Structure 1
């Protein structure tokens, strides 16, 4: 039940259901960026924006943006939104819930005859998920001026990313970086079970975890599996298994602190991968995520020491972890967190502060403006799956929180200028 303001749960439900029908045939909820079905979804969104009485355009970075003029446009914009693309065989709420909730905030303001002093913008960012070009957050990196120039030459399905941006209506030759956005807020499903398990309605996101990926190569020796004595082997798999257990033990210890931490051995390749051969080589890729940078640095340091100890014990050479990618954590804006806490209270929503272990467009928007997020529960924490589900009532309550926050920010931002 919405306890404050006239958010329409029915409208939100209808919109999400409509977008859920615009998917690849026989692939539940698949609508990847730069595909024809993605453009169909974008066309539906533009029509929904127009039906609500708002104008829209695609910016140079390929983002679809609806604009609701403010009484004092010189104050700049408050932006809300998320993304409408999905992972392959992904869910119907990841990203989509945030776009529809943002649109519902704009419609509710219009229904109530409220015109903000700031311009309000609703954004559907291009390619938040890993795209066919192998890169993600293409639109938010574009609008924040952080998209690497070399990305534009990446190729997939016979086209470059540059051409893909053109096909969705953007223009990579034009600088898309914005300086007039005064605050950005994103609603998203939690993609984890914490809110459900604690029976809470809203998560106020304190930070988006930094993500570090490390590659480890274990160099054993191939031998006959039947004739080589157990004590004479240089088994790469056994050593790799000890390392994987060490990663779990170290990550569990760090996660017991007061900040989010997680680490996963997500890729594991063994050679020669034959039943009658002692494994000669293993490649491991670790995905580690930390709310605090010092936790990540401690993880890497202790991982290196642990690997050296395991290698010494087993006699199997192991290379030092190679950092494949390394992104810093992104804290959300303290003032916006206070506004969101108050907005939850005004809407009567139970809430807690929490970090995001997943990456989001908010992390890139934070490079150019005050930014923050809220989470709504999803059933059993499932996401990036056809089983992903979030109750419409929970999304609507999140939209009510956004509405309260936008109205408060419209005044608060003016006092701080």
Structure 2
């Protein structure tokens, strides 16, 4: 790390430990959005922002915002941030590292006596992870004007999303969309092993992969497992297995290029699911992720053709693949990627460009401003698990890159006007 940096790894470690300690009993690092523990974590984070000199508020979408007013606030806002909510049993660094790194940038600027021309904001976005309402990125969708209006009527028990946003301090019927944000940057753990394996400090994220989910229904016929001849069966499971293997083979072929691609049969339901009955029906849900849209289009086309060929071979009816959801890839802003490359050099951090296979709030912020993100390594690439781990030193180096990027942007954004 640049020896002149005012970033403090110890402060980062202490903050992450403090937030990690706010968790559901007997469930390590569990602080899901809209729960009492989430609100407790938010209260802690709000105080930490104030201690750093920020003025705090909850915006209409339920996002916690800490603001450091710039010397020339009419220039607009540079925003940093991520999310503090977690998945069940595994959210010590995912999101939290980005919020704390952003907070550390604010403290470092204060410690070195630097006042930016632009206003600087730290955002803790509401419900980036899939929430109790079955949807994700609620806060960043709200800030970017991308949250579907009908979502407010989604229900978890007797609670509507509209009421839940109000309960965290938001105003769900008001617009939270912003037009003053000139650039947004997010730090996140990689959630994969590339940086660790290649011994590289920082990943500069070229694009956030588009995510497409596809449902396939296999309709076989239930028969007695002991008396029905093998050649007379219409086994939905064996046909589904052929499809699953085909998905893996096709995904590996697409992943062999330079661009990121992955596909997973992540949901699988079989009926009647009895030991002595030939499986009658299988529902499978494919999660496919592509850095390049043309790769996703090829996957969908070849999947459709492959499923038809398998159905013809086995004699079992298979529905045409049905697209359940389809989000396009989000490229990082080219200017910000260059700024981040330069900031890595200034901070003395080795770096490489890479795509993100996971979704992030940055994808929604890119709809309203220049947006980009960086990755820091996580041990063995583990994430969404209790043993998710990143070192304070790696996060601190990432924060130093953010700090240098913010200072560069404070000047560059004015030159671009």
How many Å separate the matches in 1 of 2:162 and 2:84?
20
Aligned twin of 2:113: 113
CA drift of 1:156 comes to 1.3
How many Å separate the matches in 2 of 1:55 and 1:161?
27
Aligned twin of 2:391: 391
Aligned twin of 1:327: 327
Name the SS of the counterpart of 1:258 in structure 2.
coil
How many Å separate the matches in 2 of 1:175 and 1:324?
28
**2:64–2:125: 8 Å Cα contact kept in structure 1?**
yes
**1:218–1:318: 8 Å Cα contact kept in structure 2?**
yes
How many Å separate the matches in 2 of 1:101 and 1:339?
18
Aligned twin of 2:175: 175
Aligned twin of 2:204: 204
Aligned twin of 1:253: 253
**2:53–2:68: 8 Å Cα contact kept in structure 1?**
no
How many Å separate the matches in 2 of 1:416 and 1:356?
28
Segments of structure 1 that go 5 or more residues without pairing to the other structure are none
CA drift of 1:172 comes to 1.1
**Pairwise mapping of residues 16-415 of structure 1 onto structure 2 (< 5 A)?**
16-415=16-415
How many Å separate the matches in 2 of 1:66 and 1:234?
60
Name the SS of the counterpart of 1:408 in structure 2.
helix
CA drift of 1:91 comes to 2.3
CA drift of 1:157 comes to 3.5
Name the SS of the counterpart of 1:205 in structure 2.
strand
**1:247–1:263: 8 Å Cα contact kept in structure 2?**
yes
How many Å separate the matches in 2 of 1:13 and 1:292?
36
How many Å separate the matches in 2 of 1:324 and 1:391?
38
Q: Which deviates more, 225-234 or 207-216?
A: 225-234
State the superposition RMSD in angstroms: 0.8
CA drift of 1:351 comes to 0.7
Segments of structure 2 that go 5 or more residues without pairing to the other structure are none
Q: Matched residue pairs, number? A: 417
**1:211–1:328: 8 Å Cα contact kept in structure 2?**
yes
How many Å separate the matches in 1 of 2:313 and 2:156?
45
- TM-score, scaled relative to structure 2: 0.99
Name the SS of the counterpart of 1:289 in structure 2.
strand
**1:91–1:387: 8 Å Cα contact kept in structure 2?**
no
Name the SS of the counterpart of 1:65 in structure 2.
strand
Name the SS of the counterpart of 1:23 in structure 2.
coil
Q: Are residues 3 and 315 of structure 1, via their aligned partners in 2, closer, same or farther at CA, if it must alter by over 3 Å? A: farther
**1:3–1:348: 8 Å Cα contact kept in structure 2?**
no
- Runs (4+) of structure 1 exceeding 4 A deviation are 1-4
How many Å separate the matches in 2 of 1:118 and 1:322?
47
How many Å separate the matches in 2 of 1:348 and 1:263?
36
Name the SS of the counterpart of 1:402 in structure 2.
helix
CA drift of 1:174 comes to 1.4
How many Å separate the matches in 2 of 1:45 and 1:91?
16
CA drift of 1:361 comes to 0.3
